[in-house]
Amino acid sequence: MNWKSITLLFATIVSSITVTEISAKNVKIDTQNTSLVLEAEKGKKLRHLYYGGKISENDAAALRSASGKIYSAYPDYGMITLPETAIAMIHSDGDMTLDLVVDGISSTHDNGADITTVTLKDTHYPVVVKVNYKTWKDENVMETWSEITNNEKSPVTLTRFASGYLPIRSGNVWLSSLHGAWGNETRLTEEPLTRGMKVIKSHEGVRNSRFDHSEVMFSLDGKPQENTGRTIGAALCYGGNYKLRIDTDETDSHHFFAGINEEDSHYKLGKGETFVTPPLALTWSDEGLSGVSRSFHKWGRNHRLAHGDTPRKVLLNSWEGVYFDINEKGMANMMKNIAAMGGELFVMDDGWFGVKYPRNNDSAGLGDWTVDTRKLPGGIQGLVDEAKKNGIKFGIWIEPEMVNSKSELFEKHPEYIIKPANRKAKFGRGKTQLILDMSNPEVQDIVFNIVDTLMTKYPEIDYIKWDANMDIENHGSQYLPADKQSHLYIGYQKGLQNTLQRIRAKYPDVTIQACASGGGRVNYGILPWFDEFWTSDNTDALQRIYMQWGTSYFFPAIAMGSHISASPNHQTHRIIPIKYRTDVAMSGRLGMEIQPDDMTAEEKEQTKRAIAEYKQIRPVVQFGDIYRLLSPYDEKGAASLMYVAPEKDKAVFYWWKTRAFRNEILPRITMKGLDPEKEYVVHELNRIDTKPLSFEGKSFSGKFLMENGLEIPVNHKLAKKNETDWSSRVLYLTEK
């Protein structure tokens, strides 16, 4: 990951761009297999002509004759316009119109990517908007964003500032989107687009994926299919408030807009200032939803995720095992256990800090990141040494953007919290939690220093779990001036990005997990600085199948924290055998979140075997191509997906029974993504049956596996006393 290539709000504009004089001209912007075509005639509106599979120059030139109504590529408000627009502003004289026309096109290169920039100029006011498209030759995702510059004598107010717009020809278009709640994140919703406006948005300020997600897919050929059908994927890469709008009106197209949510965020742009929107990532595939996912995963690993090329360690996190009950003996015991099971990393979660206000529960201590030596007499160094003794790495939990009113930081600096000037702040978690104002550079320094101090003192820290358990719930910045209070949401994100950028510049190697009360920060806006995310605080294996299914639409398994936890599960109280819990966790970035002392010797032995086997398949899971096969949302009694190595010489197939009805006929799953010509040997992993599967060790052609599939027995063959209603399989396919 090149930290410098990430587009920051207000990033300095590349000045070496050469503007080409153009007359009537179609601009074709290609990725590996897709094309976007614009009509960019100097002095005229920039128009969108095409987005889809890659087309020839000849087809591109004749596009207009084959198209219906043509829409502006970046609709502006005020003069004959769509009802919904991408950009709107109030000029310094109060005028509310824009009339942007093409001024020039230029291209530049940035770290292996090509950036095409169309410069738009208002016909009356000195306002310049650059619309950018970033592509890579071997990716199928393109990023688009705009840069809005005010050259008027006084500030203008931006009232709408989308990252991008796409008209989608109507027909039988369906929308797939992710929604949820705490403990039930990323639930899939599929619906046909009908007349009216569909809005998906976040107004939380911090945990922007807790309820709804800023990524969607459009299936152009009717009801979404996993492996067939033309599908567009869109992911707004932003960690703050966003708004996706899909307007279906009397025209022949659905009008899709995505960008920062402008509600309560009107932005004053001073003379000479430039506002840079976050990128909107777009992709198109004729291989259905899974095709879109594969493109996002590859681009994500290569360009939008920290260390996307590095295998993730198998870890034990202390949270569900001990919660706030942190002590030296307990930590050492957990480290010994995870090391014995073959794990590679131990992460000490919440509860280790606070001197005057010890963090014994969630109502005190945030802000005071000093180790509590009553709990940990040897300090962090003692734990780092203990990890080393066990041959594993050490990681630590922090929640640096937050503070409790019961903390020394708050006592010293009450001015650092987010709250309106004339009101008392309302509290969040623990009835004392508050949020620090990241728009304030002094606060940015404090947050940077939390990480800097830890990493300077204990350079062996290998992993940081960076949590965030509150949103902007008291609107008000004690730092921003009165006339810029509406900059708070955007300023917060900008401050956070600056801080993360500084941290990454100094500590490029440390692994950082984005956690926000579980899956509250699962987005490509934040991921460039993070290696992974905590998918959900809900670790129930059955519910995880549904949540991880949704997450996999846009995010690769390498980034998806997926832990084996206790039974009964702490969130759902469901009792699930260790085999099933492990088989689900093994489909993401495998970890554990359990008190090993509560596991039986047999469970530990089984887990040890599973971890060893996971290490074998880790490259396929973490770097392979996903093919989702049978959706749990179809309620057919089972769910199944697979990962295939890019060389198609290895694959991992997962099958989970999702309900137990006697004599229900479950579908036989046909595999996908294999090489039809290759022969694959099938080997079951994490096996518990008393007898091997009938096809164990046998080989089959890719063609047969994809056309017929293997009959998966409904239940496990076990000794009577061990039988349960749970059943799952992990099959490893290797080329013969």
Residue numbers at the binding site for ligand GLA (CB under 6 A): 319, 349-350, 362, 397, 467, 469, 515, 517-518, 534, 537
Residue 428 CB, shortest distance to ligand GLA, in Å, is 12
Residue 362 CB, shortest distance to ligand GLA, in Å, is 6
Residue 471 CB, shortest distance to ligand GLA, in Å, is 13
- Encode 585-594: b = buried (16+ Cβ within 10 Å), e = exposed: bbbbbbbbbb
How far apart are alpha carbons 406 and 384 in whole angstroms? 28
Nearer to ligand GLA, 207 or 243 (CB): 207
- The HSE-up count of residue 411 (CA atoms within 13 Å, CB side) is 8
Residue 536 CB, shortest distance to ligand GLA, in Å, is 8
Are 132 and 116 spatial neighbours (Cβ–Cβ below 8 Å)?
yes
Residue linked to tokens 């970035």: 589
In terms of Cβ atoms closer than 10 Å to its own Cβ (0-12, 13-18, 19+), residue 342 is middle
Are 256 and 234 spatial neighbours (Cβ–Cβ below 8 Å)?
yes
CA dihedral 606, 611, 613, 618 (to 10 degrees): 160
Residue 319 CB, shortest distance to ligand GLA, in Å, is 5
Residue 519 CB, shortest distance to ligand GLA, in Å, is 9
- Contacts of residue 641, Cβ cutoff 8 Å, sequence gap at least 6: 549, 552, 587, 626, 627, 628, 629, 630, 654
Cis peptide before 619 (omega within 30 of 0): no
Nearer to ligand GLA, 46 or 335 (CB): 335
Nearer to ligand GLA, 136 or 397 (CB): 397
Nearer to ligand GLA, 165 or 534 (CB): 534
Question: Is the Cα dihedral 705, 708, 714, 720 positive or negative?
Answer: negative
Nearer to ligand GLA, 287 or 467 (CB): 467
Look up residue 364 and give its DSSP letter: S
Residue 183 CB, shortest distance to ligand GLA, in Å, is 10
- Sheet holding 699-701: strands in order across? 625-630, 638-644, 650-657, 728-735, 679-685, 699-701
- The HSE-up count of residue 32 (CA atoms within 13 Å, CB side) is 12
Residue 297 CB, shortest distance to ligand GLA, in Å, is 24
Nearer to ligand GLA, 289 or 496 (CB): 496
Residue 447 CB, shortest distance to ligand GLA, in Å, is 17
Are 617 and 732 spatial neighbours (Cβ–Cβ below 8 Å)?
yes
Point out the residue whose Cβ comes nearest to ligand GLA: 350
Residue 644 CB, shortest distance to ligand GLA, in Å, is 31
Residue 561 CB, shortest distance to ligand GLA, in Å, is 9
Tokens of 633: 């949302």
Nearer to ligand GLA, 210 or 297 (CB): 210
In terms of Cβ atoms closer than 10 Å to its own Cβ (0-12, 13-18, 19+), residue 329 is exposed
Nearer to ligand GLA, 343 or 591 (CB): 591
Tokens of 115: 């950036």
Residue 352 CB, shortest distance to ligand GLA, in Å, is 11
Are 607 and 578 spatial neighbours (Cβ–Cβ below 8 Å)?
yes
Nearer to ligand GLA, 152 or 362 (CB): 362
CA-based end-to-end distance of the chain = 35
Residue 392 CB, shortest distance to ligand GLA, in Å, is 20
Q: Backbone dihedral region of 111: left (phi > 0), alpha (psi from -120 to 50 degrees) or beta?
A: left
Tokens of 222: 């009717």
Nearer to ligand GLA, 262 or 362 (CB): 362
Query: Residue type at 724?
Result: T
How far apart are alpha carbons 133 and 104 in whole angstroms? 14
Residue linked to tokens 């728009």: 439
Residue 311 CB, shortest distance to ligand GLA, in Å, is 23
Helix axes 601-623, 328-340, angle to 10 degrees: 70
Residues recorded for the chain: 736
Nearer to ligand GLA, 139 or 471 (CB): 471
Three-class SS state of 440: coil
Question: Which residues are 257's β-sheet partners?
Answer: 165, 245
Nearer to ligand GLA, 50 or 352 (CB): 352
Nearer to ligand GLA, 298 or 563 (CB): 563
- Encode 25-47: b = buried (16+ Cβ within 10 Å), e = exposed: ebbbbbbebbbbbbbbebeebbb
Nearer to ligand GLA, 319 or 416 (CB): 319
